[in-house]
Structure 1
Amino acid sequence: MNNKPLAERIRPEKLEDVFGQEHILGRGRILNRILKSGRITNMIFYGPPGVGKTTVANIIANMTNKRFYKLNATNASVKDVKNIIDELDTLFSVDGVLLYLDEIQNFNKKQQQSLLEFIETGKITLIASTTENPYHYIYKAILSRSTIFEFKLLNKSNIIDGLKRAIKIVESELKDKNIKIDEEALEYIANVSNGDLRKALNALEIAIFSTNLDERGIIHIDLNTAYDCTQKKILNFDKFGDNYYDILSAFQKSIRGSDPDAAIHYLARLIKAGDLISICRRLLVTASEDIGLAYPNAISIVKACVDTALQVGLPEARIPLAEATLLLSTAPKSNSVIKAIDAALYDIETKDIGDIPAYLKDAHYFGASKLGRGIGYKYPHDYDNNYIKQQYLPDNIKDVKYYIPGKNKLEEKIKSYINRLKGSEL
């Protein structure tokens, strides 16, 4: 019996046998075309674990005449790179070197720079893989000399195909034993693997070798066996990784898009990760950024929900957080607040805004009047409707409009009130 993990034993050796990634490996797609041209360039494979990055790198290695080296940046050092460089001009590497560097994000800038000279001369062709966003973690000079390919999570169908192929391989190894897996068990393993074929294969392998033969001499894997052999579903969530920001972004955008179901879904992901602080912060920001003056009380209610959540902690915190999420998702929307403040900040950073009108400056000190401070200021409460027309902005930007009321019930009332007060359009 082969002692290699099942995931290694079923690893495809041909491009056509790779599961998923049709967007780059399918017929006529970019990576497929590059590989079939025979001109292998520097590449960076970016995507979650268990989706085929290493498999494709191995297939590429078998397609070239280059000497193949494989390093994992988690435990490799500059010395390991130097040992490869020392062989570049030997008979062993007459056609150059293909280096597969797994988890390149774990190499610091100096370690990545040690490869740069040889990548530029073509003596080393680099294929690097990473689970983190390469634009955040990989040295820009290497990025500029490489083509980035994003590998995506496998879908359920891909996972099931991989599991069925694995079963055939194990049956051929066991020879006189058959494996029967119920369809619901197969689907369950595929569902909880979260797009990671390696994880699904590990669960299948445990199921096969922990299940006794039934009275017919068959290894029968039912749903209960699948439950026992799979770990609790682990979501792709790393608080310091790219996926962390993706989920937070999707959470706020779902609220902004008035989709309560999607918003609750992403909230559930964040709750599963136990990230209370990020949830609370995003809810408070969203209350002002996306709801704002369309429903000004929203921020008060959200603040109460957030305070409650932080006080009671998880798992109970999920309830007030869900309340806040659903409130914001179903509330009227307005971005007039963020547009106003961002426009004002932009002017401050980019324009000569000029001085504050003298009559608006502080006049509560001896000698202020001699400097012209406060002279000519009209106190609005001395006039009808507590309003009197006067200039408040500096001369250089006196006619600018920062606040544009949103098209919602409350801000339409605000607009109407201001127009009546000023006798002009807002």
Structure 2
Amino acid sequence: MASPLADRIRPSTLDEVVGQTHLLAPGKPLRRIIESGQIPNMIFYGPSGVGKTTVARIIAEKAQMRLHKLNGTSASTADIKAIVEEVHSFAGYRGILLYLDEIQYLNKKQQQSLLEHIENGSITLIASTTENPYFYIYNAVLSRSTVFEFKSVEPEEIEKAVRRGFSILSDEYGEQANVSDEALHRIAVSCGGDVRKAMNSTELCYLSAAVENGVRVVDESLAASLSQRSSMQYDRQGDQHYDIVSALQKSIRGSDENAAVHYLARLLTAGDLLSACRRIMVIACEDIGLAYPQAIPIVKACVDMALQLGLPEARIPLADAVVLLSTAPKSNSAYMAINRAMADVEAGKAGSIPRCLQNKHFDGEDAAVKGQFYKYPHAFPGHYVAQQYLPDTLSGTVYYEFGDNKTEQAAKAYRERMLALYGNNK
């Protein structure tokens, strides 16, 4: 059985790698390290199909060391123990290079078993992961390694790989491919920065293309039909999920409704309706808040409607909510107030509740002054009376500061007018 085109076309030199110029262009840090021949422990972090494994293999082929390859999805403690046992054997006298793909799937004990040997240099570790290493890799391993972040490959770079893929397929099958520029662009754009997906689409397009006069014709419609869903890089438990919901919130906070609608579309295209609903409700309270408090019940109504409708119709009320929030005035005053108050409570700054606010009950015999002495504000002019509400230890503390938007400034003016008129109520 033939291997996938993505493996057959895999680069053998750094110059053949598409993308990652921030790491691999002449003079860039990772390239300098590789060319020096002194390979440190490294972790390659980034989405699938962007060259992590390819670069690690190129390094492994250049290193004059005993090479072992493991994959975190299938590696066992026995596999790691067998490698460690070679450290002091003749086979490992020049050092051992361990290429560990998907390291995030190894448990803490498995990762710990490598510590001593990667620290003293008898084993050099090159690991790759699609998850944030600072969350998924044991700290002691992380502190002994250098992390390099790989990024999604731009469509212009992917087009080069797609052209090369069609050329290789033509040589292998003996039939030339007539590929339109539009088809090349569609494949490159639809893969979402994943070169492996682009190669899979390239192979499918070549094999399913109609043959005319001994030439396989690949046009845009064929490319669209075979790559229309391949652009989705999404994992509800992984970095892609958190990146998209973060981008959605930051776009709304930044009042960019077009970007916000784009990230909403990415969540909904992946079928993640629940995450979209939760995040939009949080944004209404955190980022719009008291600047436009009516947004909160409006967004809640949109979310309720979306959950009742389900996809695909749910996209309509959610789009209404996202555009509303993006174009609304912004305030995080209440959000900051609760954060400050919780920080005090967690730091032990609480104190006894003033007696006038406590639930009615009898005072103990040791109480110097008996009685609750609560003043009922509605019984006073302006429905206001001055009395202490915060505990003694926090008296005078300010958590909430009025925002500079119209709604909160109106509330501030009302407060100041009320204090001026009724602040001396007794």
TM-score band, normalised by shorter chain? over 0.9
Tell me the distance in 2 between the aligned counterparts of 1:384 and 1:304. 38
Matched, 1:41 2:28: no
Asked whether the 8 Å contact 2:197–2:230 carries over to 1, the reply is no
Distance 2:206 2:317 in 1: 44
Instruction: Indicate the residue corresponding to 1:347 in structure 2.
Output: 344
- Whole-angstrom distance in 2 between the partners of 1:170 and 1:360: 80
- The partner residue of 2:280 within 259, 280, 283 is 283
CA distance in structure 1 between the partners assigned to 2:19 and 2:107 by the alignment: 31
Conserved? CA contact 1:204–1:229, under 8 Å: no
Q: Is the 8 A contact 1:69 1:99 kept in 2?
A: yes
Cross-structure match for 1:97: 96
Gaps of 5+ in 1: none
**1:328 counterpart = 2:325:** yes
Alignment partners' CA distance in 1, 2:228 and 2:66: 39
For the pair 1:258 / 2:255, whether they are aligned, the reply is yes
Q: For residues 411 and 374 of structure 1, what CA distance do their matches in structure 2 show?
A: 37
Could you tell me which residue of structure 1 aligns to residue 168 of structure 2?
A: 169
> Aligned partners of 2:226, 2:295: CA distance in 1, in Å?
45
Q: CA deviation at 1:199?
A: 1.1
Q: What's the CA shift string for 1:238-292, capped at 9, x where partnerless?
A: 1111211111111111111111111111111111122222222212211111111
* Residue 384 of structure 1 pairs with residue 378 of structure 2: no
1:336–1:406 CA contact under 8 A, matched in 2: yes
Equivalence for 1:422: 419
Per the TM alignment, residue 224 of structure 1 is displaced from its structure 2 partner at its CA by 2.6
Counterpart in the other structure of 2:396: 399
Match of 1:196 among 194, 197, 214: 194
Within 2, Cα distance between the matches of 1:353 and 1:362?
18
**Alignment size in residue pairs:** 421
Matches within 5 A, 1:291-370: 291-350=288-347, 352-363=349-360, 365-366=361-362
CA shift at 1:4, angstroms? 3.2
What is the Cα deviation at residue 126 of structure 1? 0.6
Shift of 1:96: 0.9
Contact 1:247 / 1:266 at 8 angstroms: preserved in 2? yes
SS in structure 2 at match of 1:148? strand
Alpha-carbon contact 2:189-2:231 (below 8 Å) kept: no
More displaced stretch, 228-237 vs 263-272:
228-237
Change (3 A) 1:404 1:18: same
User: Secondary structure in 1 aligned to 2:43?
Assistant: strand
Show the 5 A alignment for 1:146-165. 146-165=145-164
Moved more, 164-173 or 286-295: 164-173
CA shift for structure 1 position 91: 2.9
Please give the alpha-carbon distance, in whole angstroms, between the structure 2 residues aligned to 1:136 and 1:293: 35
Is the 8 Å Cα contact of residues 284 and 302 (structure 1) preserved in structure 2?
yes
What is the root-mean-square deviation of aligned Cα atoms in Å?
Answer: 2.1
Say which of 216, 223, 232 aligns to 2:229: 232
Give yes or no for contact 2:191–2:232 (8 Å, CA) kept in 1.
Answer: no
Query: Identity of aligned pairs, percent?
Result: 53
CA contact (8 A) 2:257 2:327 kept: yes
Q: Could you say if the C-alpha distance between residues 209 and 275 of structure 1 is closer, same or farther in structure 2, counting changes exceeding 3 Å? A: closer
Give 1:399 deviation, angstroms: 1.3
Residue segments in structure 2 that go unaligned for 5+ positions in a row = 422-426
State the 1:237 CA deviation.
Answer: 1.3
CA–CA separation in structure 1 for the residues paired with 2:407 and 2:210: 68
Letter in 1 for 2:88: D
